[in-house]
Amino acid sequence: MSDIIQLLPDHVANQIAAGEVVQRPASIVKELLENAIDAGATKIDLIIREAGRNLIQVVDNGSGMSETDARLAFERHATSKIHSTEDIFHITTKGFRGEALASIAAVAQVELKTRQKDTPLGTNIYMEGGELKFQEPAQTAEGSNFLVKNLFYNVPARRKFLKNNNIEFRHILDEFQRVALAHQDTEFDLFHNDEPIFRLRKGSPAQRIVEIFGRKLQPLLIPIREELDWITFHGYVAKPEGAKKTRGEQFFFANNRFFKSAYLNKAVQEAFEGLLQPGYTPSYFLYLDIDPEKIDVNIHPQKTEVKFEDEHLIFALIRSTVKRSLGIYNIAPSLDFDRDPKMESFFGTPSRANHSGFKPENVSVGRDFNPFNDEPKVGTTEMVNMTQMYQQDLTASAEPSKINLFDDDEDFDEDIMRLPNGYWLYNKGDRTLMIDPGRIHSILSADKNKGKTHSSESHPLLYSLEYHLNEVEKTKFRSIKKYLPALGFDMKLAQENVLRIDAVPEGLKESQVIKFLEKIFEILEYRSEEDFMHYYDYQWNRISSKTRFDFIYKYEIENLIREFHRIGFPEYTPAGKKCFIELPLDELKNKF
C-alpha cells in the first residue's frame, strides 16, 4: 500500500492555525487592542469599517517596534513575553503565545507602520495571505499603526459564515468594552464607518463604567472592596433595579484580564438571593488583583477562562463581600450574611449603616368607627372626611355602564364567579372550570392581530419623553430607526445621547414607553435588524396583554368567554400554558 500521511503546505497549516485565533473581526480587535496595551500605550484609536470586514485599524502611542522586531512579529510563535516554560506561570501581560499576528496575516491583508521613541525613521510592512510583500523605512508617528483589510479574502468559505454587520459590530463592542473597562488610565476612541462611537478619557473605574453604559447606571452603582494578604477584590455591583433578564453587563477581571466564569457568577447571584425576580441577573464590574502564580490564564484558546489555585475560596470571598456591601447600603433584606466559615479568619465584623430611629405617626381613630356606616361618630372627623371622598369615588366607578353583550338566550349571571386570586370559576355545561383571564386575553389578542405586523396608528404625546441612551443602545437604535415611523413612533436623537420621543403607537401607554424601549434594546442583543419585527410584535403583545388581576367586572369576563368560544375555547396558549383547568367535582364532594 502507498503512504497516505503527508505534511500540510505552510499556507494551509497557517490558515487552519489562524482559525483558533481569528474567528470573526472581534477576534482581531481583541488581539490588537491587547498588543497596544502591552506596548504601554496611553491612547488607542480603533477604526472600523463595515463591522470589520473591510477594515480594522488600531493606532497607539506605545513603545513601537524596531525594524527587526516588526518583521519577526509576524512569524508563528514569535513573542517577547515568554523565554522559558516557567514564564507561563508568571504571566502579567495580555498576549504571550506569539501566534496572533501570524494568524491575522494568514487570512487578511495587513499593513504595519511603527516607530520607536527617539528613532528618526520607522518601518512599513505589508503582508498578504501570510506572505511578506514588502518592508521599507517610513516616516510615521511614534507607536504602532495596524491596518487589517479584507478579512478572509482568501478563505471565502469562512467569510461567508460571518453574521450581518449589526451582529459582528456588537461582538466588536464587547471586546472593546472589556479592554476599556480593564484600563481606565488609557484613552480610547472608537469609530465605525467614520462615525465616533466612543471617546473615553482617563478617569476612575466608576467614570469609565458610566461613560460606556450610560448615566442611568451611575446612581445604581454600589462599591465593592476587600483587601487580603494575597488578593484585592474591588469593583461595583448595581442595585437590584439594574438587573436584567439578558446578560451583557457582567464583567470579571483578574489582573486586568477579562474572563468568564459561570461558577463565580453564581457567587454574585447568591449574594443577591431574595433581592431579584426569577430569571434576572445583576449587573457587576468586579476586579481581582492576585499573585500571578496563583492563577493560570493559559487554559483557553481565546484566553477568556482562567484557573485559580483555590477557586472555592475566591467564590466565598466574592459572595461574602458583595452580600456585605449590599447590607451596608441597605439593599439586602438582612445583615445576617451566613458567612462561609472558610472566610471568617479574613473578615472582621461588617460595617453597618446607621439607621435613624423611625416612629410611625400616631393616628387616633374612634373605637366605634366604621367606614361603611352612614353616620359618623364623634372624634373621627378627619377619617370620616377621607372615607366620604373614598365612597364618592366608589359610587362613581363601581357600576360600569350596562351593555347588552349577549343574546337573550345566554345568561351568565349564575355561571361565573370571581375568586380572590384573580381567577374565575365558569360553569360550562356539566363541567366547572377555573379560567385564567390573562392567558385567554393573550390568545384573543394574538388572534385579533393575526396577519398584522404592527399598529401604525400614532399617538402624539402632550409632553416629549426623554430616554438617555448609552453608546451600545445608540448603536442599536440606529439599526432599527428606519422601521420606527411605520410603527407609530416619532423619536429622534438629540444632544448628549438623549432620545426624544414625541409620539408612540396607539395603545401604548405613556407610562409603558420607557420600559418598552428597554425591552426592545434587550431583545436586539446579538440579533439582526431583520429579526426586529418578529421580536417587536412579540414584545408588543406582552406589554399590551392584561393579567388575570386586570379583570374585576363580570361583564368583562362574559365578553371574554364569548370571544373565547368563537375561536374554539383552546385549552393551551401557544407557549403551552393552560388557559383553564377542570375542577374534579366528584372529589370535592368527598371532602364534605
Consecutive 10-residue averages of pLDDT for the chain (592 residues): 66 60 91 93 97 97 93 76 49 57 92 94 94 95 96 90 89 95 97 93 95 90 94 95 81 93 94 87 95 74 75 95 91 48 44 40 44 41 42 39 40 72 85 88 73 65 86 81 84 84 82 79 65 67 67 83 90 83 82 75
| CATH code given to domain 205-343 | 3.30.230.10
Can you tell me the distance from the alpha carbon of 271 to that of 323, in angstroms, rounded to the nearest whole number? 5
pLDDT at 530: 63
Can you tell me the distance from the alpha carbon of 182 to that of 218, in angstroms, rounded to the nearest whole number? 18
Was domain 10-200 assigned CATH 3.20.20.70? no
Identify the residue whose cell numbers are 449589526: 166
The one-letter amino acid at 311: E
Strands (E), 5-155: 43-49, 55-60, 109-115, 122-128, 131-138, 143-149
pLDDT at 346: 45
Q: Which CATH number fits domain 406-592: 3.40.50.1460, 3.40.50.1000, 3.40.50.10190, 3.30.1370.100?
A: 3.30.1370.100
Q: How many CB atoms lie within 10 A of CB 563?
A: 15
> Closest Cα partner for 283 from 317, 234, 244?
244
Can you tell me the distance from the alpha carbon of 43 to that of 181, in angstroms, rounded to the nearest whole number? 14
pLDDT at 25: 96
Q: Which three cell numbers stand for residue 223?
A: 462599591
pLDDT at 263: 93
Can you tell me the distance from the alpha carbon of 161 to that of 89, in angstroms, rounded to the nearest whole number? 36
Give the distance from CA 417 to its chain's centroid. 43
Task: Tell me the pairing of strands 143-149 and 195-200.
Answer: unpaired
Burial string for 265-289 (b: 16+ CB within 10 Å, else e) reads bebbbebbeebeeeeebbbbbbbbe
pLDDT at 528: 62
Residue 220 has what DSSP assignment?
G
Strand partners, 349: none
pLDDT at 454: 53
Question: Contact at 8 Å (CB) between 184 and 202?
Answer: yes
Can you tell me the distance from the alpha carbon of 581 to that of 173, in angstroms, rounded to the nearest whole number? 48
For 389, the 3-state DSSP assignment is helix
Among the residues of 466-553, which ranges form H helices? 471-480, 484-487, 513-523, 532-544
For 194, the 3-state DSSP assignment is coil
Tell whether the torsion through CA atoms of 103, 105, 110 and 111 is positive or negative. positive
Can you tell me the distance from the alpha carbon of 75 to that of 480, in angstroms, rounded to the nearest whole number? 43
Q: Which three cell numbers stand for residue 259?
A: 474572563
Q: Which three cell numbers stand for residue 545?
A: 396583554
pLDDT at 108: 95
Can you tell me the distance from the alpha carbon of 323 to that of 335, in angstroms, rounded to the nearest whole number? 8
The one-letter amino acid at 167: I
Strands (E), 311-469: 416-418, 424-428, 431-435, 458-468
Question: Contact at 8 Å (CB) between 29 and 172?
Answer: yes
pLDDT at 66: 92
Question: Contact at 8 Å (CB) between 95 and 113?
Answer: no
Q: Phi first, then psi: what are they for 186, rounded to 5°? A: -110, 135
Q: Which three cell numbers stand for residue 351?
A: 460595617
For 48, the 3-state DSSP assignment is strand
Question: Contact at 8 Å (CB) between 189 and 196?
Answer: yes
Identify the residue whose cell numbers are 445583576: 282
For 568, the 3-state DSSP assignment is coil
Question: Contact at 8 Å (CB) between 297 and 256?
Answer: no
Helix (H) or strand (E) holding 127: strand 122-128
Provide the residue ranges of all domains of the chain, joining segments of one domain with +: 10-200, 205-343, 359-399, 406-592
Measured CA angle at 210 (ends 206, 215), to 5 deg: 130
